[in-house]
């Protein structure tokens, strides 16, 4: 059984970006807006800023107070939309409750949408036109290509229908000529639907929900989920007791780590599978946007 290592794919993606960055007249610019002090968001943003520094991408972190209003945050985004040194804008989610997240995300100029979430860019994805792509599903496609996992003509099941992963993942697989089924919490006989898949993508946010019974023998399983488990009994069920005793917590995905190893021909571990690719594809989107902006201003 093959383990699909996201760190190896990440290294390859970043290596391809370096000469493209060197050929630009100025470094690409990425602005990251982080509102408040959510610990997970702060970790994610640190990782994004670090990746920018490693590649030579200019990054700017903007940290408005947690009490900021929607209109005040819209003004921050609008200012970034008009800055010529900023090619990509990322609004770290989640935002505080008082903020209208949809209005904020849609206020980012489509040609600076580093996350690929703007409705115009989603429309370009559906139409198969070049545009920034949602980073996590784009990273999954890169991983499958890297390991030469067949997609053309294969039955792919995506479990999860979020705008961030599930829906764009299904559309990207369609563009690779897979036959795609989207499943979710209301799907009747979910286990049976998953068992038909040659390629199973789990992106529902429920730790260990996909057990061996869901997985057809020999299927490729991509685990997009990541949950922090701080219960020793649960860690034992996931076969990670030694790791729990060493660290006081474990990270698990949506797929049961022991049972997937017994059924799949290839799978992505958690951590170290899909996770490293999300930031790599954010860097790729930022470089694409910078190249487009500099081509237009030449």
The residues annotated as belonging to the active site are 48, 92, 115
How far apart are alpha carbons 95 and 38 in whole angstroms? 9
Per the CB < 8 A criterion, the answer to whether 29 and 86 are in contact is yes
Backbone angles phi, psi at 29, to 5 degrees: -120, 130
- Report which of 7, 40, 1, 2 is spatially closest to residue 274, judged by C-alpha positions: 7
Alpha helices of 23-151 — where are they, by DSSP H? 39-55, 70-81, 101-107, 119-127, 135-146
Preceding amide of 94 cis, omega within 30? yes
Per the CB < 8 A criterion, the answer to whether 137 and 279 are in contact is no
How far apart are alpha carbons 193 and 183 in whole angstroms? 8
- Report which of 116, 170, 164, 173 is spatially closest to residue 144, judged by C-alpha positions: 173
Backbone angles phi, psi at 253, to 5 degrees: -100, -160
How far apart are alpha carbons 111 and 183 in whole angstroms? 31
Per the CB < 8 A criterion, the answer to whether 80 and 112 are in contact is yes
Per the CB < 8 A criterion, the answer to whether 258 and 83 are in contact is no
- Report which of 258, 269, 217 is spatially closest to residue 4, judged by C-alpha positions: 269
DSSP helix/strand/coil, 46 = helix
Which residues share a beta bridge with 223? 202
């Amino acid at each position: 059984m093959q383990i699909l290592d996201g760190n190896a794919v990440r290294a390859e993606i970043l290596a391809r970006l370096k000469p493209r960055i060197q050929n630009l007249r100025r470094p690409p610019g990425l602005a990251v807006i982080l509102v408040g002090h959510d610990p997970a968001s702060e970790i994610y943003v640190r990782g994004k800023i670090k990746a920018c520094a490693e590649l030579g991408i200019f990054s700017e972190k903007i940290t408005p107070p947690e009490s900021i209003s929607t209109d005040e945050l819209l003004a921050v985004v609008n200012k970034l939309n008009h800055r010529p040194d900023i090619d990509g804008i990322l609004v770290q989610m989640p935002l505080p409750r008082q903020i209208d997240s949809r209005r904020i995300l849609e206020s980012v100029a489509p040609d600076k949408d580093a996350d690929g979430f703007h409705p115009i860019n989603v429309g370009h994805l559906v139409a198969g036109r070049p545009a920034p792509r949602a980073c996590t599903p784009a990273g999954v496609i890169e991983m499958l290509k890297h390991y030469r996992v067949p997609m053309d003509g294969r039955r792919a099941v995506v479990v999860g229908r979020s705008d961030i992963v599930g829906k764009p993942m299904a559309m990207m697989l369609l563009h690779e000529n897979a036959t795609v089924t989207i499943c979710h919490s209301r799907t009747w006989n979910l286990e049976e639907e998953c068992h038909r898949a040659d390629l199973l993508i789990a992106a529902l946010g429920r730790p260990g929900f996909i057990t061996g019974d869901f997985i057809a023998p020999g299927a490729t399983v991509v685990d997009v989920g990541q949950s922090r488990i701080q219960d020793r009994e649960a860690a034992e069920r996931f076969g990670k007791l030694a790791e729990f005793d060493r660290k006081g917590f474990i990270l698990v995905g949506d797929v049961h780590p022991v049972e997937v190893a017994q059924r799949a021909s290839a799978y992505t571990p958690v951590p170290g599978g899909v996770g490293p690719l999300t930031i790599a594809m954010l860097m790729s989107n930022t470089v694409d946007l910078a190249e487009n902006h500099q081509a237009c201003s030449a």
